[in-house]
Structure 1
Amino acid sequence: MQQESPLSDNTSTLRDSPSEIAAPKITRKSHRKSRAGCKNCKTRRIKCDERKPHCANCKRRDVQCAYPTHNPVLDPESGEGLKSCEDLRLSEIELTYHWSTTTSQSLSAWSSGGVVWQSLFEDVALNHRHVIHLMFSLTALQLAHCRPSRRSQYIETADYHYERGLTGLTHDISNIGTENCDAILLSVQLICFVNWAKGPQVGEYLAFGNHGRSDWLVMFRGIRSTLESFGSENFSKTHTPAVKSKGRPLPTLSEPAGYQLHLSELRDHVAVTSQPADSPKNVKAVDVLKECYDSRYGGIDTEYHVVFAWLYRMDDDFLDRLQGRDAIPLIIFAHFVVLMQEMETFWYMKGWTHHVMSGIFESLEREHTPWIRWPMAKVGWISP
């Protein structure tokens, strides 16, 4: 990461007066250069007294004071800060290399799709630092997955870049326009991949969580909100690789035996047992799911992750009831997990299928569990 050059102090000189009184010699006071100031002072480019939890400037302006997590102190004598900067540059060289050669290629079923992701580094990321940070975060997580002996180091690196990417994205979202909407959409997509790549989290089941909507779902729905805000035609660079499905169909798979009949029976069950106000939306959820099954097993889908079109198309009311552990949405979601299982081909989806199915099973009252036996069997998950 390119470091800012410290601002040099300008020492003014005094001309001799007519009486030839010598000007006092102004000497530079030796001091320790620090990058430990708060974020607000850095932004305003003013000196920070570095008091915690609130520096004097923020306290006077009555604004929230926040300090960066990592702030190498540039001590010319010790050289520790300079070494930290050097390590960071080396880390970014490694991450750039692996993004270009490996990680970008893992985001698509096809080499051509990997090339598109690879090109986004130059086309979008170099002009928007939050995109670079999130690319680096995802790459570090893949390295953690592939190199267990250095896992803790790569996880720390991933967290470092994720935090900075999220901060930059938040700033850009508050100023969204045609000049940065591509970068915002790309970062939101990358955050979804990063949350997958972090692996299954206790109490988080992608579409619902024990402590409110999962972080992944919030960001995934953010893709829809971003596209709807500007229209997909404005996303010339980022709409192709991760939202639209283009190119050749995926390899044909043997379809789950009797899925048409089972989904038809599920639809009838949903129509009869749903509350009257919820019935139309629940039935629609099954119908959309049937479309997703037909697309995947009918040789239409061209990318594995387009199965998430089902969650993309669900309205907020359905997702709210899923979050509230309503039995019918949970049962329908369990049938979606069958489609999700195929994505475990990719390193960033490992372990998610069984984890999500276990969360659904634990959330359902036992009288409803017979309706998820079919998806449980298809993904090979056995209840404890």
Structure 2
Amino acid sequence: MSSEHTPSDDTSSTSVEVGTNDAKRLQNVFRVTLQSNKQSSGFHSRRSHKKSRAGCLTCKKRRVKALKSFQCDEQKPECSKCEKKGLTCCYTSEEVVRRDSDSSSRRLSKESPNSTLFSFTLDNITRDIQEILNLGVRCNLVPLWNQNATHPMSTVAFHNFVKCSTETIASPAIRNVMRTDMIQVSFTSSHLMYTILAVGMLHLNRVSPSKERSVAESYFWQHALQNYQKALSSNVSKDNVDSLLSSCMLMSVMTVCPENFQPTDSWVLTNRPEAMNWLCLQSGLRCILSLASRYIPSSIWGTAFSEIGKEEDKIFDDIQQGREGLDPDLADLCGIDDWTTDNNSIYYSPLRILTPLLKLERDAPNSAHCTSFMGRLDCDFVNLLRERDPPALIILAHWMGLMCCLSQWQPWVEGRIRGECIAICMFLEHSTDPLVLRLLRFPAEACGYKLHNDS
């Protein structure tokens, strides 16, 4: 999203309550499986490990995560290891697309909610995708066509999104909508179709990088943003709310999963304010929701939003004053006493949100709830982060450290969050405040950074 659509202080203060609450709950519901870049100590390159271009995506991901060999027997349609473990077996190459297109219809599992929608062949999908994008089937643009492939890269990206990318969505309610109603909407909305293609290609490119995929990913993102901005120029209505919400939710993937991000690229170390736009843009959904609040209950997302809201109401407490339940050291660092409220302390609300998340059992269902932290930060706290305020950085680092601990279920953390956490540790480890140094130990250990002052 361009800067003209970045939420401002005024937007935040005038947001409709329903839209704001939904935005807080639904940030980063989408996860992209990435190659692990976890460091064991300090900021160093990852240890070398055996690589293979063969095998399914699932075995390759397990091999990278464990830094050891997982030999895939390349059995189709499911390799024996995935079948034995009950895992989703997904191949990244165009061979999967070609194999599916040879069948008279899509061969999807009985439990898949989109089997009816995809009863047509991939040739028909290719035609319909090109039609909504206003392209010829044999488009000569390099990003959309590989001369050695049976289908254009738009079809490959779409296939990967539906079959593989949606499998990584933590929330069952969100996953179901993305596989069914959202896909149907995408065939009537060019910006949503481009966004789906961009996410599908990003997913492929992070797992199996190539120059060709990188070019295609950039192409799809460029056109997704252009078409999305054009759609935003008109009023939000019942007719376009589904596509606008869907595109906005998926676009958060672009900001948290950049290519080749390093800790030294962080705003904390570069002192470049624009380098933290990824965090500011996580609130983009709040703006759309505030404009579309009246249409949300009847939208394709209405039921899913309601289900998630009920789940998270059980997690977050309603304490509005004082230190009760807060970590004593964090409360001291932020100057919180028994009379502190959200009205007299910028730190109070973020710390109240973080506290129950840190206490949750670290498992797959709770990992999805923890991602909502980014969307709950208000403009005043983000401004403190921009100024590299130590207490604000410590709060953010503790959330990032928590997400690093949950990366098994939220692998998109490896795209940026682990690197940003390392950057904060590198910046704050020179502090002369013993409380800051003590509170820095958890995030440093969680992200794999060895503090210089640790013996």
- Please report the TM-score for the alignment, with normalisation by the length of structure 1: 0.65
Asked if 1:212 is matched to 2:273, the reply is: yes
Q: Which residue of 1 aligns with 2:376?
A: 313
Distance 1:336 1:165 in 2: 30
Distance 2:445 2:326 in 1: 13
Alignment check: 8 A CA contact 1:271 1:283 kept: no
Q: Which residue of 1 aligns with 2:162?
A: 100
1:193 Cα deviation (Å)?
1.3
Aligned-residue identity in percent: 15
Read off the aligned partner of 2:233 and give its amino acid letter.
S
Distance 1:230 1:325 in 2: 34
4+ runs deviating over 4 angstroms:
3-6, 82-89, 202-209, 239-244, 246-249, 275-279
Asked if 1:180 is matched to 2:248, the reply is: no
- CA 1:207–1:221 in 2, change beyond 3 Å: closer, same or farther? farther
Q: Which residue of 2 aligns with 1:371?
A: 439
Q: Which residue of 2 aligns with 1:192?
A: 252
- CA 1:158–1:261 in 2, change beyond 3 Å: closer, same or farther? same
Q: Which residue of 2 aligns with 1:129?
A: 190
- CA 1:216–1:243 in 2, change beyond 3 Å: closer, same or farther? farther
Match of 2:230 among 167, 171, 181: 171
Distance 1:303 1:349 in 2: 15
Distance 1:83 1:315 in 2: 43
Distance 2:368 2:194 in 1: 23
Read off the aligned partner of 2:444 and give its amino acid letter.
M
Aligned residues: 298
Distance 1:243 1:369 in 2: 41
RCO comparison, higher one (Cα < 8 Å, 6+):
2
Alignment check: 8 A CA contact 1:248 1:302 kept: no
1:194 Cα deviation (Å)?
2.5
1:315 Cα deviation (Å)?
1.6
Read off the aligned partner of 2:205 and give its amino acid letter.
A
Q: Which residue of 2 aligns with 1:118?
A: 179
How large is the RMSD of aligned CA atoms in angstroms? 4.0
Which secondary structure does the structure 1 equivalent of 2:346 belong to?
Answer: helix
Distance 2:150 2:248 in 1: 24
Read off the aligned partner of 1:108 and give its amino acid letter.
A
Distance 1:382 1:286 in 2: 25
- CA 1:138–1:232 in 2, change beyond 3 Å: closer, same or farther? farther
- CA 1:176–1:164 in 2, change beyond 3 Å: closer, same or farther? same
**Any gaps of 5 or more consecutive residues in structure 1?**
7-70, 74-79, 250-259
Distance 2:445 2:148 in 1: 52
1:279 Cα deviation (Å)?
5.8
1:98 Cα deviation (Å)?
1.6
Q: Which residue of 2 aligns with 1:154?
A: 213
Distance 1:90 1:120 in 2: 24
- Please report the TM-score for the alignment, with normalisation by the length of structure 2: 0.56
Match of 2:422 among 350, 358, 361: 358
1:209 Cα deviation (Å)?
7.4
Read off the aligned partner of 1:360 and give its amino acid letter.
I
Q: Which residue of 2 aligns with 1:281?
A: 346
> Residue by residue, what CA displacement relative to the aligned partner does 1:161-200 show, whole Å, maximum 9, x if unpaired?
0000000111111213122122122112111112323346
For 1:10-29, list aligned pairs within 5 A.
none
